[in-house]
Amino acid sequence: MDQFISLVNPEREIQPFVVNLTGINSNMLRSAPKFYEVAKRIVEMTEDCIIVAHNSEFDYRILRTEFSRLGFEFERKTLCTVELSKQLMPEQDSYSLGKLTRALGIPVSDRHRASGDALATVKLFKILLAKDLNKQIIQDAVKAEPKYKISTNHKHILDDLPSITGVYYLHDTYGKIIFIGKSKNIRNRVNQHFTSSNPKSKKMQNQVAAVTYEATGSELVAMLKESAEIKKTKPSFNRTMRRNKFTHALYCFTDEKGYINLRIDAADGRKKAITTFTNYQSGKQFLINVIEKYKLCPKLVGLDATKKSCFKFSIGECAGACIGEETSESYNLRVQEVIAANIFDNQDFILIDKGRAVDEHSVLLIEDGIFKGLGYYNLNYQITNKKVLESIITPMENNRDTIHIIQTYLRKNKQIKRINLTQ
C-alpha cells in the first residue's frame, strides 16, 4: 500500500562490523536525515498497524528506544516471523532470513539493507499466512484491532475489499471466523452476503464485524483452501459445507464376457472410485463426453438399457462391443485410457496454475496418487528442485473432498499445466 525507505544519520561513527555487513559507511550517512526528522512519518505509517519483522523484538526495541529519546511513547503490536516460522515450519534447519529465503525460493535483492530485507519478509509472511490453516494469525489480529465494531452499514468493509480470486473470512467482534468462502471476485461475493435477504444471510449480517481475505490467484487453490480451512476452523455458518462435496462416483467392473463396464452410482466410501461428481447429472454428462471421445458403447456405461445392440451401433458409431462384434481386448484398451486419465493411483506429478502476481505461479504436489499440499513459487526459480518444492508446499490433508475438487477442476480446466515427476 505504501513504503518509506531512508538511511538515518545516527550522529556517531559506524562500527566496522556493520559496514562489512550492510555496505553502509559513515560518509553515506552525513547527509541522511536524523531520526527526529523521519519520526512523524514512521508514526503515521504504523498507526493502527501490526509491525511484522524478522526478529521483531530487536527492531521494536530500537524504535521504542529512539522514540523514547524524543519523549514519545511509541507502542505498537508486533508479529515475529522467526517465531511464526518455528511454529509453522518446524522442519527448517535454520530460521535466519537468508537461509529461510533460500530454502523457500524467495528472491532477495539488497540483502542486509532495509528495503531488501523488508520485501523478503513480506514474501515470507505471505507464505506463513498460507501455511496457517487454522487462521490463528489473522483471527488474533482482528481480535486485537479495536476499530472493528458490528455495523448495520457494511459499505466501509466493502470499500476495502478487492475484486480478485481468493478466500475470504467473515469475523465477529472477537475476531473469531464465522464464515469462510471463496470467489473469483471477493468484493462482489461479500456484497451478495451483505445484501441477501434470506434468513441465514440476515443472521450473518448482524454478527459480521470485519472481513479479511487471502489472494490465491488460482480458483483451484481457493477451493482447496476453503475446504481445508472449513474443516479445521468449523465456522458456525459453514455447517452445510462440512459435508462431502460429492454425492456420486464412477466405478468399473468386468462383466461375464470380459468387457470393462463403467457406472455412475451413489458414492460409497467402501468402494474404490475412479472419480467423483457433485451430482448424478454431472456424472452422466461425463459419460456422454467419454462415449464421444473414446468411442465407448452406451450400453456398457449404463446409459442404454436395451437388451440388444445399442442405438450408437445402429448408426455406425459403436464398434459392437454390446453384441460381441468388437473383442473385449480391443474395447477394454479404450476404457483403460478413460480410467488412467481420471485416477491418480501411483502417480507423481505437480499441477501449475495462476499465481497471485504476474511473476508467480501456484503449484500442487501429488505423490504416489496422494495430494500433499500446495504453494507458490517465483518464476525465476526452478521448482523441479525437490528441496525447494517441499519447502514452499503447505502440507494439506489428502481426503475424498480434496481429490474430488482437483479431479473436477482438471475436467473443466484443460489449460492447467501438469508435469510428471521422475525419481
Return the pLDDT at 75. Answer: 92
Return the pLDDT at 54. Answer: 93
Q: What is the pTM of this model?
A: 0.73
% of the chain at pLDDT higher than 70: 93
User: Taking the alpha carbons of 157, 162, 163, 164 in that order, is the dihedral positive or negative?
Assistant: negative
Q: What is the mean pLDDT of residues 279-299?
A: 93
Return the pLDDT at 244. Answer: 62
Does residue 6 form part of some domain? no
Domain boundary among 77, 112, 131: 131
Q: What is the DSSP string of 271-317?
A: S--SEEESSHHHHHHHHHHHHHHHT--GGGGTS---SSS-HHHHTT-
pLDDT digits (tens, 9 = 90+) for 290-337: 999 999 999 999 999 888 899 999 888 999 999 999 999 999 999 999
Does residue 9 form part of some domain? no
Does residue 7 form part of some domain? no
Return the pLDDT at 151. Answer: 59
Q: What is the mean pLDDT of residues 201-212?
A: 91
Q: How many domains does the chain have?
A: 4
Q: What is the mean pLDDT of residues 237-247?
A: 73
Return the pLDDT at 256. Answer: 93
The grid cell for 313 is 451401433
Residue 327 sits in the same domain as residue 253: yes
Residue 157 sits in the same domain as residue 236: yes
Range name among 166-180, 211-225, 237-251, 327-341 with the lowest pLDDT average: 237-251
Residue 363 sits in the same domain as residue 330: no
Residue 328 sits in the same domain as residue 362: no
- Cα separations (Å) of 59 from 6, 26, 65? 15, 21, 10
% of the chain at pLDDT higher than 90: 51
Q: Which residue has the cell 474404490?
A: 272
Q: Which residues share a beta bridge with 363?
A: 352, 375
Residue 329 sits in the same domain as residue 398: no
Does residue 220 form part of some domain? yes
Domain boundary among 341, 376, 404: 341
Q: Is 354 helix (H, G, I), strand (E, B) or coil?
A: strand
Range name among 7-16, 75-84, 101-110 with the lowest pLDDT average: 101-110
Decide if 9 contacts 30 (C-beta within 8 A): yes
Q: What is the DSSP string of 24-76?
A: --HHHHTTSPBHHHHHHHHHHHHTT-EEEETTHHHHHHHHHHHHHHTT-----
**Phi/psi at 37 (nearest 5 deg)?**
-80, -20
Residue 148 sits in the same domain as residue 225: yes
114: CB partners within 8 A, 6+ apart: 5
Going along 306-391, which residue ranges are E strands? 349-354, 360-367, 370-378
Q: What is the mean pLDDT of residues 213-226?
A: 95
Specify the CATH number for the domain of residue 141: 3.40.1440.10
Does residue 1 form part of some domain? no
Closest by CA to 383, choosing from 357, 416, 361, 368, is 361
Does residue 270 form part of some domain? yes
Give the structural domain span for 217.
Answer: 136-242
Domain boundary among 131, 165, 184: 131
Return the pLDDT at 306. Answer: 86
Cα–Cα dist 120/103, whole Å = 13
Residue 230 sits in the same domain as residue 269: no
Q: What angle do CA 414, 419, 423 make, to 5 degrees?
A: 155
Residue 226 sits in the same domain as residue 140: yes
Does residue 163 form part of some domain? yes
Residue 127 sits in the same domain as residue 22: yes
pLDDT digits (tens, 9 = 90+) for 364-392: 999 888 899 999 887 766 666 666 677 78
Return the pLDDT at 148. Answer: 53
Residue 124 sits in the same domain as residue 173: no
Instruction: Examine the pLDDT at 150 and tell me if it is beyond 70.
Output: no
Residue 334 sits in the same domain as residue 374: no
CB atoms within 10 A of CB 309: 18
Return the pLDDT at 112. Answer: 66
Q: What is the mean pLDDT of residues 178-195?
A: 94
Residue 142 sits in the same domain as residue 37: no
Q: What is the mean pLDDT of residues 338-342?
A: 89
CB atoms within 10 A of CB 349: 14
Instruction: Examine the pLDDT at 422 and tell me if it is beyond 90.
Output: no
Q: How many residues does the chain have?
A: 423
Specify the CATH number for the domain of residue 49: 3.30.420.10
Q: Count helices and strands (H / E) in the chain.
A: 17, 13
Mean pLDDT of the chain: 88
Return the pLDDT at 380. Answer: 65
Q: What is the mean pLDDT of residues 217-233?
A: 93
Does residue 112 form part of some domain? yes
